A and B are shown apart, each in its own frame.
Chain A
Amino acid sequence: MKHDPLKRSALLAAVVGVACLGLSLAKALAPMAILPTLDLPLTLGLSLIALTLDAYWGRHELSWPALLVNAVLGGAVFALLPWCAGLTQGRPIWTLGLAGAAVFGVSALLYTAALERIATGPKAPLAPTGTALMLYLAGQCLSGLL
């Protein structure tokens, strides 16, 4: 399969778009519901879902220029889409973008590096999911410390 280094950003846009759509619908149709805010665990969770889909979709390799461009695109996704959905809760979108770029960039770096070591070829079908779960737990711990 052809390697597309920025496919993970397209997948992130799709994942965050679907999440924002769900939250918008819940906000409109179930106003009493307590909805999750776009905090560190949620940003990390959405990033890891996109990275996991990307890992199952095709081969992946660590490339610094692609990582940087993906981080910038990730920042744009986390700034623009919640703003379009009216989910920024008064926070300036540049802070969402900055946090999104940092979280997506760092999680992509760690995910790719960890997956390369955990995956042992086609007979390791759970490696992408396992890597995501491990990083999510680590992210939650970090979030608790912060």
Chain B
Amino acid sequence: MKAKDLIAPIAALLAAAGILLGVSALLGETAQRGEEAARNEIMSYMLPGRPASFTEEAYDGEDESIRRVFKAEDGYVLELETNGYAGPMVLWVGVTNEGRVSGLTVRDHRETFGLGRRAQTEAPFLLQFIGTSGEAAVGEDIDALTGATVTSKAVTRAVNSAVAFVTGADISSSATEWEG
């Protein structure tokens, strides 16, 4: 192997990097607009009355699980990050102004295939949270996913945190304090 053998792979790497940077710069604005539109579309299903627009509000409270807050006329959609079994989980939770959960979706996670991963897709599990108002507890109101109790508790913590934000409930009921 000679030093000149390095020229082809490094040239290919730099060429590919240049093309990708160019494409990212060209499509950056389109991607951002598309992402915002897609986010609004999904969030509109999470509150009653399908609000057409959301306003992002700054959050500087104590609950470290709350990442972003979006307000609509009839309620809020919160983006929360909580610790699952295998890593952080990101959820969106819709809560009405009255403090009732009206929508829930798991947006990102690293949970185990076939076990905790079902938190994203298993409708009967997710539907248990609809209508709850911050008191949800695994083993009482919520049936955990089989083989994924830690994941189920993580989702429950996040949902209770979202409700606590809207109702102004004591922080001890929220994700940062309750270890589940």
Contact = CB atoms under 8 A, between A and B. Distances in A.
A85 B16 CA distance: 10
A6 B8 contact: yes
Interface range for A: 35 or more
A5 interface: yes
B8 A25 contact: no
Nearest to B10: A73
Contact of B34 (A16, A21, A28, A65): A28
B17 interface: yes
B31 A31 contact: yes
Interface range for B: 20 to 34
Interface string B7-26: 01111110111011101100
Contacts, number: 94
A21 B41 CA distance: 25
A87 to B, nearest CB: 9
Interface of B: 1, 5-6, 8-13, 15-17, 19-21, 23-24, 27-28, 30-31, 34-35, 37-38, 41-42, 113
22 contacts: A4-B5, A5-B5, A6-B5, A6-B6, A7-B8, A10-B9, A13-B13, A13-B15, A13-B16, A20-B20, A21-B19, A27-B31, A28-B30, A31-B31, A31-B34, A32-B38, A65-B1, A81-B17, A84-B17, A84-B20, A85-B20, A85-B24
Interface of A: 4-7, 9-14, 16-17, 20-21, 24-25, 27-32, 63, 65-66, 69, 73, 76-77, 80-81, 84-86, 144
